[in-house]
Amino acid sequence: MGKDDLILSARPPFSLSSVVKSHGWASLAPFSTDSHTDGLTYIYRLDSGHVVEMLIQEASDGVSIEVDGQLNEVECEEVTRKVEYMLGLDQDFNDFYRLASGEPKLANVEERAQGRLLRCPTLFEDVVKTILTTNTMWAGTIRMVEKLVSQFGDPLSADPTRHAFPTAEQLAATDEDALRSTVRLGYRAPYVLELARDVASSTFDLESLKTVDIPTIQLRKRLLSIKGVGGYAAANLLMILGRYDFVPIDTWALKMVSHEWHGGGQVGQAEVEAAFERWGEWKGLAYWFWDWSYVGED
């Protein structure tokens, strides 16, 4: 495989920019955005162990992928499969757009091709990152993920200062003290370690949850069985998995709903759920892309 020779098409409407801006994942290692090329880069560890940098850019009907170095046919197929999943190229939001067309607060979702949420190549990486978003500021999440990647991920051969996200096996081989003292995970360290060990030992087939054909409520229960994953984290992960039946309720959600419908007064989970109940299986997306009136001080 040479440069610029992978072109993937997406189900329209599609906007790479919308996927990149869909949530904060693009600013967490080993993702990065490139202002010069307006593209998304990701340092990816192939199944073979070979670490490459992928540059993903908008193309006419989808995206182009440029990979540093030569890939064989099997590796090209792997990169194609992963990028299709990460960007949700085949995801269909037409039912959501039809519902949203009557709601002024969601008036632009179709025009902006909003709906897809950027995903990591493995659910393991998405779960670890989600755990690292809980009970901390966003700057703390960025810092923890960066340290986790630089300490335990395999280096990019072209630039050994940059690394891929560590595999479950690599994290399973470390210990709680290292995760606490080096990565500063605090009380999250045993959660990440337990998950890594369960996945590495095949005690927990986490990746199968990407495609498992079970009701959302059951999928949520499986996610909640992971230590460190509570209601907010499970709803966030369900969104990543393309299930939008739950709203990820954090302090920001409470604040937004409070100002949108309750005059800034105190609200709880029940009020947030009630506010989006009418959106049914799309309530997570309706919440996510809602055009909030309150901009606040943060």
Give contact residues for DNA (rule: CB under 7 A).
Answer: 134-137, 139-140, 143, 180, 184-187, 224, 226-234, 250-252
DSSP-assigned states of every residue in 144-172: HHHHHHHHHSPEETTEEEEEPPPPHHHHH
- Total residues found in the chain within this entry: 298
Instruction: Give first-to-last CA distance, the chain, whole Å.
Output: 46
- Write down the least CB distance from residue 266 to DNA, Å: 13
Nearer to DNA, 17 or 136 (CB): 136
Please state the closest distance from residue 143 (CB atom) to DNA, in A: 6
- Closer to DNA by Cβ: residue 177 or 213: 177
112 or 255: whose CB is closer to DNA? 255
Minimum CB–partner distance for residue 256 and DNA (Å): 12
Smallest separation (angstroms) from DNA to the CB of 214:
20
| Nearer CB in complex with DNA: 47/297 | 297
User: Rounded to the nearest whole angstrom, what is the least distance from the CB of residue 250 to DNA in the complex?
Assistant: 2
Helix (H, G, I), strand (E, B) or coil at 278: helix
- Shorter beta-carbon distance to DNA: residue 137 or 295: 137
Core vs surface per residue 37-49: b (16+ CB within 10 A) or e: eebbbbbbbbeee
DSSP string, 2-32: -TT-EEEE-PSS--HHHHHTSSGGGGSTTEE
Distance of CA 133 to the CA centre of its chain: 11
Return the closest-CA partner of residue 239 out of 115, 96, 137, 108: 115
